[in-house]
Structure 1
C-alpha cells in the first residue's frame, strides 16, 4: 500500500537555517525527488548529486547522478551508487525519523539533511497525490557562489549594505545587491512543482540522448 511521506529538507550549515517541508508519495523515485528539491531550493540541476543513508556510521545506501562514477577507489568500502531512476523512496524511507543526506554540486558541496516527519497511508487504488510544498524558510544560495563560505560572505555584504556601511557590492557579487535572504514564496514553489512531469520527461530524454552518444564499452 502506498503512503504519503512528509519530508523536511534542511540545507546544512546555514544559520538561520534554510529549509523546506514537502509531501511526496513514497512511490516516487529518488530521481524525481532530486528534481523536486531542485525546484524548492531554486537550484538549476547543473551539477552532479547524490543521496546517502548511513547506519551506525557506515554507508547503507547511495543513489546519485547516472553519470556518477562507481569505480572511485575512495569508495571501495561503500556500496556502489544505485540508479536513482529505479529506486523508489519506499525502498529506503519507510518510517518517521528515517534520514538521509542529499548532496548537490560536489564543488560547492550543498548538503541537505532530509528527515521523514510523518508517514500517512493513502487510499488504495487512488491516484498518487502531487508533490506539494507545505512550508519553508529563507531563500537558498545561488548556483556556483562558492558553497557555504561564499553564501555567508554574501549575507555579510548585504547586512553591511543595509546598515549603510557599504555603498556597492564587490564586482564578484555584482547584481546580487537585491538578493533577499529572507524570501520564501510558497505559491511560486507549488506552481513550479506542477511542471515536474515535463521536467523529468525532458531530463530523461536528454540523458538517453547523452548515453546514446557514449562509445560502447569493450
Structure 2
C-alpha cells in the first residue's frame, strides 16, 4: 500500500489492537475493514486536496504535474470520482455500529477543510494530524460501541504529534515555493528550530503512547 494509506491506517490498527481482550489477537475483520477504509479515504482526501489546490499546485515544483493542476482531469470529473470514493467509504463505515458510523462521519469536516488551512495558519500539520488520526478513536468504538476517552484521547494526541513530526519534515521540501506563493506550514514556522520542536513533539508522542497503554492496562512485553 502507498505510504499515505499506512499513515492513515496505523492509528486505526493501534486502537483496534488496544481494544482487544487481554490475551487475544485484534479483530481480523475490523483490521480488514479499516484497511479498506483507510485506502479509500486516503484517496478521497487526495482528491479533495487536489481540487482545492489546483492553482497552488501549478506554482509548486513538486505538484505541478498533478492531473487536475495540468488540466488532464476536470474539476467536474474529479467531483464524480470523489463521489464514488465517498460512496465506497460509506459502505465500509456502515459495517460498523451506529456510534462508530456517526463518529466516522463527523471526521469528514476535517477532511474537507484541511487543504484550506495552509492558506490561513502556520499549523496545517496540526489539522492534518487531527484528521489522519481519527482512527485512534474510531477503532476502539468499532470494537466496544463507544470511545474510552481515558485510553483513546492520549492515543489520538500521540498520533497528532506523530503526524506533525513526519509532515513537517515532508513540508521542508516545499519551503522555497511556499514562501513565494504565501503558503504556510510548520516547516516555515519552526524554521531553524525545527529539530528542537520535533524533539518536543517526539516526547509528546511517546508520553501519550505510554499514558494510553497505562490507561488500557497494558503490560510490558
TM-score range, shorter chain: under 0.3
When the two structures are superposed, what TM-score results if normalisation uses the length of structure 2?
A: 0.27
From the two aligned structures, give the one with the greater strand fraction.
Answer: 1
**TM-score after normalising by structure 1:** 0.27
Higher helix share: 2
